[in-house]
Amino acid sequence: MALAIAVIFGTVVVFMIATATSVAVAGIKKSSTDADWNAALSAAYAGVQDYEARLSNDTGYTQYGNSSAPFSSTSTALTMPTGGATNPAFGTGTAGTWATVPGGDGKSLYRYEVDTSKYYDTGVIRVRSTGKVGTSVRSVVASIRQQGFIDFLYFTDYEIQDPVMTNVDPATCVKHAWEGRPTSSSRNVCGEIAFSGGDTIDGPAHSNDTMRICQATFTSQITTSNPASGLRYSRVDSNGSSCTGQRFPAGVTQPAFTSTIGMPSTNAQQKAATQYNTTATSTRSPGCLYTGPTDITFNADGTMTVKSPRSIKTQTDATDPTSGRTPAACGIPGTGAGQLGSASGATVPVPENNLVYVQNVPQAGDANATTTAKLPDACNPTSGNGVGYPRAGETQLSTTPCSYGARSGDAFVHGVLDGQVTVAAENYLYVTGDMTYEDRGADMLGLTATNAVMVWNPVKAVSCGYSTCYSSILGDSDREIDAAIISAAHTFQVQNYAYGGDRGTLTVYGAIAQKFRGVVRQGSNGYVKAYEYDARLKHSAPPSFLNPVTTTYGVTTMAEVSPAYVTSGDCAKKAGACV
């Protein structure tokens, strides 16, 4: 009996030991599985970071990827990097390679697929990155966009008025205050402009310079490239007098420091979007090129009416500037009814997710060349610039710089936009009336100029007793501009800002970037500012928009999705097809 009890007891002990061992092993396996599960997600994140870093180091890296990967199927122009640039993360399928997460134990792997099909339209690249550790596989999808001027409602390189307008010495004044620009409190020799007068900047703001801030409110992030360890802005007004009234977001006492964001000196690179025989045109159609003064009225039905009498070819060959073509989608050159040179212009669809470029009239060696003998280089010609400027009775207060040149690549825009497009002018861009969206959720406009972007404000001379005054020839008041705006080499300002009386409120819904500060109101003349940031610009950009000369990419959105691959490396399938 005792022996039987001993045997039974021994059996129970052995069973308990075996059970405990089984539970312990299962616990270890579960712990290991949990660790692998978490590590797989970290590996997927590492893949996104790797691709983001490669983009920042090489702006041309958008051409690379594996077009055989399921997520990249619509990006047919992708090619694989070769030689020393080979990237194992572009592998796909069971025989495809994986990249190893740096600094790990060699077990954390990742691969990624890229979708660049909307890159030229919106500036956004989508990346699906998959991490694998052991038998755990997890995927994320991230949207990556080049960080730039449109991350800010307000961006300025130099906090001085444009030297072209003030005639100050560029060698003395075109430098940042923290680089030694004269900033005497008694004499504003360089024309620094302060934020004051109740200005409200309702969105992110950045200046490469030291800002003068007085009675102004900043509701969002504010940054400067002033490297000072103490106060990074000046509490003085435009006259050099000390001031108060600065208001920053809760918990913020002054602009934060960030590195200088370099502006391009021209928007000439945008012209490439109107050319054929380029790498880009293998996946997208060129935009429209217009030559000389060009007037564009956007219509709420998704069309635009274009007057451009100097245009000969509306798309040019990237390999031969003397060759071009005239697609009907851009309007037909000529003076016949419904053509670009007619009094009523040509009405065509807005180039969807594309660009319109207005260039100066070339003299020779170009498909749109016209000699100066045939078209003199006249400033403010009495016969007009071909599209109605200057207006009858309009007074030109100065010819330096020239407001309306007969050969200038000036764009004159207004209307209601139904679509997504960028208008770029080689010279000036004038907003001649309200420029609004038909749908603020769907439409997007970019406006860029190498020279100034002007809010049109023509004036006429009138008698004021024994002197001459100037009044606006416009019959309306207030102005709204829905757009992302950049003046690459000059400024965004109101034309004749010191004349014409009170013009009401200037509403800008979008973003403003400029090399120099522009004036929109002086005394009782011009507009009161009401600027609001279009938050969509944090995630998307107008088509073929201008970017900084220094490139940094950032993730705008990222979310986990179902795994793109299984452990073997084969694609995950749904209903028999790769996801």
Q: What is the pLDDT of residue 30?
A: 52
Answer for the pair 363, 369: CB distance below 8 angstroms, yes or no.
yes
| Weakest-pLDDT range from 17-31, 462-476, 488-502, 558-572 | 17-31
List, for residues 88-144, the tens digit of each pLDDT value.
999 999 999 999 999 878 999 999 999 999 888 888 999 999 999 999 999 999 999
The closest of 300, 373, 296 to 340, measured between CA atoms, is 296
- Residues 524-567 have pLDDT tens digits of 999 999 999 999 999 899 999 998 887 778 899 999 999 999 99
pLDDT surpassing 60 at residue 202? yes
Residue 10 has pLDDT above 60, yes or no: no
Whole-number Å distance between alpha carbons of 390 and 375: 17
Q: Kindly state the average pLDDT of the residues 484-492.
A: 98
* Six-digit token string for 324: 């071009």
Return all residues near 216 (Cβ < 8 A) that are at least 6 apart.
194, 195, 196, 197, 198, 199, 200, 201, 245, 246, 247
| pLDDT given for residue 496 in this prediction | 95
What pLDDT score was predicted for residue 186?
Answer: 61
Residue of 113, 451, 396, 86 whose CA lies nearest to 268: 451
Q: How confident is the model at residue 506, as a pLDDT?
A: 96
- pLDDT tens-digit series, residues 322-345: 999 999 999 999 999 999 999 999
The mean pLDDT of the chain is 92
| pLDDT reported for residue 286 | 96
Confidence (pLDDT) at 9: 37
Measured from the Cβ of residue 248, the count of other Cβ atoms closer than 10 Å reads 18
Percent of the chain beyond pLDDT 90?
82
pLDDT of amino acid 91: 98
Q: What is the pLDDT at residue 282?
A: 60
Cis preceding-peptide flag for 163 (omega within 30 of 0): no
Report the percent of the chain where pLDDT is more than 70. 93
Alpha-carbon distance of 222 to 243, in angstroms, equals 19
Separation of alpha carbons 121 and 143, rounded Å: 14
